[in-house]
Structure 1
Amino acid sequence: MNINKLELDEALKKGESLALEFKSDLKSLPDRDLIAAVVSLANTEGGNLLLGVEDDGAVTGLHPNHQNTAGLPALIANRTTPSLSVMVEAIEIGGVKIARIVVPKSRGLVSTSDGLLLRRRLKLDGTPEAVPFYPHEFIQRQSSMGLLDPSAAMVPELLAEDLNPLERHRLREAIRRYGGDQSLLPLADNELDGALGLSTLVDGVARPTVAGLLLLGKETDIRRLLPAHEVAFQVLHGTNVRVNEFFRKSLLQTFEDVEQLFKARVEEEEIQVGLFRVPIPNYDRRAFREAFVNALVHRDFARLGAVHVRIDEHGLSISSPGGFVEGVTLENLLVVAPRSRNPLLADIIKRVGLAERTGRGIDRIFEGMLRYGKPAPDYTMSDSFTVMVQMFNANADLDFLKMILEHEEKSGVMPIDSLIILARLCEERRLTTTDFVKATQKPEAAIRSIIEKLCEAGMVEAHGVGRGRTYMLSAKVYQQTGDKSAYVRQAGFDRIQQEQMVLKYIDVHGSIKRADVADLCKISPFQASRLLKKMSEAGTIQPKGRGKGTFYERR
């Protein structure tokens, strides 16, 4: 968390967070406490430590012992293991001096020179605290940062012979059924295990890996050696529980059992598109498969808790223990390079054919919702402990689906970015390039290229020029949906109508500002400025005031 002087005052008002720590220095903060606070930040997300600030954000300043901030980086480096490099900046607020210590997120684990290992977490009331970093949590952190692959770890308690031959047969059948790597099928059992990483040689003895135990292990061994592995399938109707099944079987058997329970709750209707009848499910099977497999494969097996699949009146939700892997956030979910907390297990599942081989299964999840005109998958309930995706059980937009299918019949499969743009326009009617950048998580230059192709295809229209350029669905699209009047409403009023609206507003309220015009006519601030300028030049209104305070009255 980087803070400049302009943002510092706002940060003080908001209070402490996982990445921001306040430390009072009225009584000269002991070096031990200072180092402990730095270590806890480094072992979490990094951030800023403000020395000379009370817990409530009051700025009380530095003790005389810390007035010379130049020595703090050396002190911190000498009292941490491995040595931690920080940046220290002296800041004056209202004549009071404080120190801002910028702590980087550590790629490894950092302790004080006394052996104290801490991390930060949020309490129930939302305020942060520093707590001990326990040994069982080391693997969680290292795997989330891509420094360790827990699924490749050897299971010393078992031999390869202890694996279940029936599960190996299930694995081969899965490769055939899901179109996996066919070159694996002719291999002998020990060759298959070695090729996929299901077992590893230790002193000449083949022992299963964690991935091997998950895929080929007997249920009793999985329960005993991997107690965190559990999957729950629940169907709720209000507060009543209709189905509540728990599984601790091998991953493939668990997937098959849960998929059967899911398929039993998929309902379809059909529509006629050209010569073909197209089924419309309440939940897309491929989207479910990708989301469920992601939850199984990328979960944190060092953290107790089940993968939950839940269906209720709102829709389908799938949650998985463990937050997003290092580098993956809600803001880059659609574009970040594929990453896994369990790389070996993820690779095996892709080679079997259960998951998208390109690593872009997230695209398929979005596609499975958007092409039917349903809301996009929602990941906003995810946090540092859980990843959750929700797929809402909304009615399909049949006109939207017909539009997509007719386009794909002529031009091939529609890219996910185009689907997102069209879905946003259906929902919000008129948007700018900046709006699409946030929705697709792509650079503006790439978005402009995508929109131009949609314009060429006759699906989107552009209105305005320069910074005020906006986009909406084309007249052809509105005509196909049978809602011609909606196009006229969204295309906007012509300039004469806009001028009349401005004059009517002035008659009622006495004056009007640029922001009022933009809101009234549903145009951008830039377009509002152009409209007001033309009306001023025509002599119908006159400006009063200067700068941001400018308003307009009838002449």
Structure 2
Amino acid sequence: MDVVEIDGAAVIVIEIPRAASITGTSAGQYSRRGLGGDGRPACLPLLAHEMLSSRIERGEVDYASIVEPDAKVDDLDPSEFERLRRLVSPTGGGSVLASLSDVEIGKALGVIDGSEESPIIRRGALLLFGRDERLRQFIPTHETAFQVLSGTAVRQNVFSNAPLFRAAEDLYTQLMRYDEEDELDIGLTRVSVPRIPAVAARELIANALVHRDYTMQGPVSLQLTEEELTIANPGGLPRGVTLDNLLSTSQPRSRILSEAFFRAGIVERTGRGINRVFESTLRAGRAAPDFSRTDAHHVVVTVPTGRADLAVVRFLVAHTERRGRPFSLEELLVLHALQDDPRLTVGELADLVQRSQIATRTVLTRMVEEGLIEMRGNGRGRRYTMSAATYREISSPAGYVRVRSFDTAQQEQMVLTYVRSHGSITRAQAADLCALPSDAAKHLLRSLRDRGFLRLVGERRAAHYVLAVE
């Protein structure tokens, strides 16, 4: 215990080591800090479901592993086990799981324990195989909602308490009814451009069902409009996952449910679901999925479903055939970013692709060598823009000219402002100011001199430029 002085008042400071689990008082009281009814910080009761949610969030407990003592095997639907057998049959190793009895399948997935005669049912078994009415009884927080809007009119509004495998199939089927495709003829190849990429739909639905917080009220909801698909689920991002590392970090809230969906073949690859969502959306000529509405209580992702940029799709397909390999996710993110902001630094692009600057620089160097982008400037001022050929194929050819013109005009104004402030400027100072090679800085200064803005004074090492009209 220490005493410190703050604004003339003595304040007692007590340091308490971080506990490995939730800790209460000797009288059995549990509290948490939060905002009271008057909006001021206060000690509030820590409720039972909040304790469970906190333990799940820290990885101490998997919700699917919690035993439901009143549940029986009869509460599980045999048709849902048959559904799993059908799902796993095309997947690698699925024939082994499909050959097991219902209870043996549950034990293999870690959601049933005990013997065939006296099985112990865990909540994961109810979530995956439970009868609808039993799910509502034992896990009332589980619900899904599918809504289609046309302007302000609701065209479809469906709520369900189906177990997870059926819920995933039903939501996917309902969503894909609204899928439409554009077609592109590229040489002798006809390319279909979906409104809703199947990979993105499947992965996002599975993520929402598997990673939601089942201690919180609220449905997993899908809302489709003419311009976007929004998928939301209760519970924030799992611990360790943030919007800044979403593409590089995978931390399932329930490993049991995540593994079950993987073994069922609903998700194709553990830990790469979000990356596949981004890849499929960008390849379809649309903007990247948006997670910006995510907060501590909900994960919300919006995927554009409006008209695709077919010029981008044509460019990606043509270059994939030419280079003999598909664009990586990092390359797709760089190209789409440079469409929106044509002059980005390696640091800005590294933040965007969520990779280190060294790894990002490797990607950018490869893209420069392939003629996809250009590098301008040196050192910290180095920036990247799309090449003239790339502009010509996926954007307006005039866009490249505008970018280059704006660069030159900005550099000229920077030089003139510097001279007005400091009286003169040398070639080395101009190169450092504008992040240009020495020869480019020399050309810039001579252009300003030839047009009457600057005057050269001195020779060789003593040469410098001043304003032509003082």
Q: Post-superposition shift, 1:112?
A: 4.4
Q: Post-superposition shift, 1:223?
A: 0.9
Contact 2:179 2:196 in 1 (8 A): yes
Q: Post-superposition shift, 1:383?
A: 1.0
Letter in 2 for 1:527: A
Q: Which residue of 2 aligns with 1:444?
A: 357
2:433, 2:181 → 1: CA distance?
45
Tell me, yes or no, if structure 1 residue 141 matches structure 2 residue 54: yes
Q: Post-superposition shift, 1:119?
A: 2.0
Q: Which residue of 2 aligns with 1:268?
A: 181
Letter in 2 for 1:170: R
Q: Which residue of 2 aligns with 1:239?
A: 152
CA shift digits 1:181-230 (9 cap, x unpaired): 34322333333222122311179721222121111111111111110110
Tell me, yes or no, if structure 1 residue 397 matches structure 2 residue 309: yes
1:264, 1:347 → 2: CA distance?
28
Alignment of 1:304-323 (within 5 A): 304-323=217-236
Tell me, yes or no, if structure 1 residue 375 matches structure 2 residue 287: yes
Q: Post-superposition shift, 1:344?
A: 0.5
Q: Post-superposition shift, 1:402?
A: 1.8
Q: Which residue of 1 aligns with 2:387?
A: 474
1:332, 1:314 → 2: CA distance?
27
2:43 partner SS: strand
1:431 partner SS: coil
Contact 1:178 1:353 in 2 (8 A): yes
Alignment of 1:184-195 (within 5 A): 184-195=97-108
CA shift digits 1:457-501 (9 cap, x unpaired): 221111122222111112221233473332222234786x66765
Which deviates the most, 358-367 or 394-403? 394-403
Contact 1:234 1:310 in 2 (8 A): yes
2:256, 2:266 → 1: CA distance?
14
Contact 2:227 2:305 in 1 (8 A): yes
1:363, 1:126 → 2: CA distance?
40
Contact 2:127 2:135 in 1 (8 A): yes
Q: Which residue of 1 aligns with 2:134?
A: 221
1:119, 1:51 → 2: CA distance?
25
Change (3 A) 1:180 1:367: farther
Q: Which residue of 2 aligns with 1:60?
A: 7
Q: Which residue of 2 aligns with 1:297?
A: 210
1:431, 1:127 → 2: CA distance?
43
2:37, 2:182 → 1: CA distance?
45
Q: Which residue of 2 aligns with 1:434?
A: 347
Tell me, yes or no, if structure 1 residue 421 matches structure 2 residue 368: no
Contact 1:325 1:340 in 2 (8 A): yes
2:256 partner SS: helix
Change (3 A) 1:402 1:223: same
Alignment of 1:39-438 (within 5 A): 60-63=7-10, 66=11, 72-73=13-14, 76=15, 84-85=16-17, 106-112=19-25, 115-121=28-34, 128-176=41-89, 181-201=94-114, 205-336=118-249, 338-409=250-321, 410-438=323-351
1:111 partner SS: coil
2:355 partner SS: coil
Which deviates the most, 187-196 or 248-257? 187-196
1:215 partner SS: helix
2:389 partner SS: helix
Change (3 A) 1:453 1:290: same
Contact 2:149 2:224 in 1 (8 A): yes
2:38, 2:187 → 1: CA distance?
57
Change (3 A) 1:494 1:289: closer
Tell me, yes or no, if structure 1 residue 527 matches structure 2 residue 440: no
Q: Post-superposition shift, 1:162?
A: 3.7
Change (3 A) 1:434 1:525: farther
2:178, 2:82 → 1: CA distance?
28
Q: Which residue of 2 aligns with 1:18?
A: none
1:462, 1:233 → 2: CA distance?
46
TM-score if structure 1 supplies the norm length? 0.72
Q: Post-superposition shift, 1:363?
A: 0.2
Matched pairs, number: 448
Q: Which residue of 2 aligns with 1:540?
A: 454
1:527, 1:447 → 2: CA distance?
20
1:124, 1:492 → 2: CA distance?
57
Structure 1: gaps spanning 5 or more residues: 1-30, 35-49, 53-58, 77-83, 86-103, 515-520, 543-551
1:198, 1:385 → 2: CA distance?
27
Q: Post-superposition shift, 1:171?
A: 0.9
Change (3 A) 1:262 1:392: same
Contact 1:178 1:354 in 2 (8 A): no
Contact 1:180 1:350 in 2 (8 A): no
Alignment of 1:3-14 (within 5 A): none
2:313, 2:35 → 1: CA distance?
44
Q: Which residue of 1 aligns with 2:373?
A: 460
Tell me, yes or no, if structure 1 residue 485 matches structure 2 residue 398: yes
Which deviates the most, 185-194 or 318-327? 185-194
1:377, 1:513 → 2: CA distance?
47
Q: Post-superposition shift, 1:153?
A: 1.7
Letter in 2 for 1:411: G
Q: Post-superposition shift, 1:524?
A: 9.5
Contact 2:377 2:434 in 1 (8 A): no
Contact 1:154 1:200 in 2 (8 A): no
